[in-house]
Amino acid sequence: MPEIRNYTLNFGPQHPAAHGVLRLVLELDGETVERADPHIGLLHRATEKLAESKPYNQSIGYMDRLDYMSMMCNEHGYVMAIERLLQLEVPLRAQYIRVMYDEITRILNHLLWLGTHALDVGAMTMFLYCFREREDLVDCYEAVSGARMHASYYRPGGVHRDLPEKMPQYQPSRWKNEAEVARLNEDRQGSLLDFIEAFTDRFPGRVDEYETLLTENRIWRQRTVGIGVVGPERAMQLGFTGPMLRGSGIAWDLRKKQPYEVYDRLDFDIPVGTNGDSYDRYLVRIEEMRQSNRIIRQCIEWLRANPGPVHVSDYKVMPPLREEMKADMEALIHHFKLFTEGYCVPEGEAYAAVEHPKGEFGVYLISDGANKPYRVKVRPPGYVHLSALDEMSRGHMLADVVTLIGSLDIVFGEIDR
């Protein structure tokens, strides 16, 4: 009998990350994975070096493009680090708006994760259901920033603008008749808060639909239960955070353990798994969407009752109002100075981390007193999780690698920053 040797192959394109930005080399014994070697660096864009060459306020847009499914959460970590160096006190209303949009972003991320993960495993309908809800939430992004994805809405000292009192309306066209347009505009007759509240009313029922399709589905359970098991001790050793760590049974969440903004004023629970497999990570993210919905409702209630400023009034970090610029030459000079030179940040260093949808997203800044950072270091959650893919996939079948990559919820914008 000739000796049977293992053979290697390039995996993909299967997951959205494996279409060219991830080269995954698998060593197989038949269809059993002996070794998985992820090759990264194929998308490298030098975000950190670019941020070191520009004024602080011109790099917020770079943060959006790191994990392009969790845009405002990336911005949040960056502006919090700047605020710590500047010792800025953010108005309370701005903190509530940030928290509300962090949770909207969490749902946006988990919906895309669930749709693509289920599609990878073989459930087509899930993708269409998830994108139905995403459409409403990207409209919320567009309402405050003008952009559906890369918002650049958070600013050091607050947010760009207050929540609008009117939602954009659909107009009749050759593709939509008046009856269809009237149905689409039902929830758009009031303010943005009214629109978000209507979404939170119907969203728990939509999550029930997702669970009806998947949670007790025999094929889904066969593809996820017992796949990629990571115990609690090993999860901590590997540096897991977010749903990957909580799926292994560790109740660690920065919103509870190291509260920032107004999370300590809000009532919500931290879901944890018991087995540390792909199925538990699925259940954790499903419950996180329900808890995010709960947080958003509390933010809506507070924001309705408490008007106020949404950013600091310091012209050094926030532009003056247009009315002020027309009447005051000094305000006009501040405006031009802010958008050309930016602002100088006192010497020092700061690290700020947020509970990003994928885990702990941190930004470490070093300032030498200039108008641009001396060093920027981003701590993305996906980079750490991808490093565990080899260990998680050993002994599993080739088809299980598809499930595992989906279970990690990786986006290469932050891994190859």
The CATH code of the domain that includes 192 is 1.10.645.10
Mean pLDDT lowest for which of 255-264, 313-322, 337-346, 367-376?
Answer: 313-322
Using 50, 70 and 90 to split pLDDT, how confident is the model at 13? Answer: low
**Inter-residue contact 352 to 246 (CB < 8 Å):** no
Range of the domain at 124: 7-414
Do the domain assignments include residue 281?
yes
Q: What is the mean pLDDT of residues 147-168?
A: 92
Number of DSSP helices (H) and strands (E) in the chain, helices first: 18, 8
Q: Is the pLDDT of residue 1 over 60?
A: no
Q: Is 184 helix (H, G, I), strand (E, B) or coil?
A: helix
* SS3 of the chain: helix, strand, coil, percent, to 5: 50, 10, 35
In a domain, 57, yes or no: yes
Asked whether residue 62 is domain-assigned, the answer is yes
Whether residue 55 is preceded by a cis peptide bond, meaning omega within 30 degrees of 0, is no
Q: Does 1 reside within a domain? A: no
Interior/surface letters 353-362, b for 16+ CB within 10 angstroms, e for the rest: bbbbbbbbbb
Residues 6 or more apart from 323 whose CB is under 8 A from it?
Answer: none
pLDDT band for 15, please (50, 70, 90 cuts). Answer: low
The arithmetic mean of pLDDT across residues 285-313, rounded, is 95
179 domain residue, yes or no: yes
For the chain, what is the domain count?
A: 1
Q: What pLDDT does 33 receive?
A: 94
Whether the per-residue pLDDT at 18 is higher than 70: the answer is no
For position 333, what pLDDT does the model report?
A: 79
Position 2 pLDDT exceeds 60: no
Task: Give a yes or no: residue 348 inside a domain.
Answer: yes
pTM above threshold 0.85: yes
10: confidence class by pLDDT, cuts 50, 70, 90: confident
Look at residue 86 in the predicted model and tell me its pLDDT.
94
- pLDDT per position as a tens digit, 122-152: 889 999 999 999 999 999 999 999 999 999 9
Average pLDDT, the chain: 91
pLDDT in tens, 343-394: 899 999 999 999 999 999 999 999 999 999 999 999 999 999 999 999 999 9
In a domain, 101, yes or no: yes
Is 2 inside a domain boundary? no
Higher per-residue confidence, 240 vs 10: 240
